[in-house]
């Protein structure tokens, strides 16, 4: 059941989050060219939904969080391959859903960076070293903060509040680093 929750939670995160990215970057959408704040807000809010839906089963929806929780002793290291596979497949299904539902908008969009940005992280600084450093720092901050929020004493007995806390974490993280290395967290 936990693996299914990881699959569904990650698929939902990608559908909602990358849907926000597609809304901003694909020509013809109502949110076209509305900026980073729409993406950051979208991802921040969109992370709350699957975490609240699946928190009683499993709602890590990100390999960095899965590894962080194993390091924290929340679960065994042996679950990582199954969770990672479920997260990857969920992300693929989620992205396929975005491509399918936004196909006319992909066809209208001529700027390749806008199309690529709905699939992958793009380093606008033009520096792979900067992109790597930004991704590394962002992942460490995400994993550590999410583990403490989700499993720490502050929200014990209040998983809904913890989900909102993680949503604000993602919102802030997206706002801080989107310009340098892209807008999407990658499962």
Instruction: Give phi and psi for 114, each to the nearest 5.
Output: -70, -40
Cβ neighbours around 102 below 10 Å, total = 21
Cβ neighbours around 115 below 10 Å, total = 18
Q: What is the mean pLDDT of the chain?
A: 86
Does this model's pTM top 0.85? My answer is no
**Where residue 176 falls among pLDDT bands split at 50, 70, 90?**
low
- Render pLDDT for 130-158 as a digit per residue (tens, 0 to 9): 878 877 888 888 888 888 887 778 888 88
CA torsion through residues 73, 77, 78, 83, sign: positive
pLDDT computed for residue 186 by the predictor: 47
d(CA 148, CA 72): 9
């Amino acid at each position: 059941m936990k693996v299914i929750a990881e699959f569904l939670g990650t698929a939902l995160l990608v559908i909602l989050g990358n849907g926000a990215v597609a809304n901003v970057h694909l020509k013809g959408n109502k949110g076209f060219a509305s900026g980073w704040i729409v993406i950051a807000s979208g991802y921040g809010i969109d992370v709350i939904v699957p975490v609240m839906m699946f928190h009683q089963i499993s709602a890590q929806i990100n390999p960095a969080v899965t590894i962080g929780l194993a390091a924290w002793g929340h679960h065994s290291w042996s679950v990582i391959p199954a969770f990672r596979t479920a997260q990857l497949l969920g992300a693929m299904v989620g992205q396929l859903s975005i491509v399918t539902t936004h196909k006319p908008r992909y066809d209208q969009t001529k700027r390749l960076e806008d199309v690529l940005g709905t699939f992958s992280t793009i380093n606008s600084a033009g520096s792979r070293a900067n992109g790597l450093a930004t991704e590394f720092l962002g992942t460490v901050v995400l994993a550590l903060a999410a583990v403490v929020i989700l499993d720490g004493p502050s929200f014990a007995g209040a998983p809904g509040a913890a989900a909102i806390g993680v949503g604000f974490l993602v919102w802030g993280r997206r706002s801080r680093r989107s310009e340098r290395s892209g807008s999407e967290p990658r499962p």
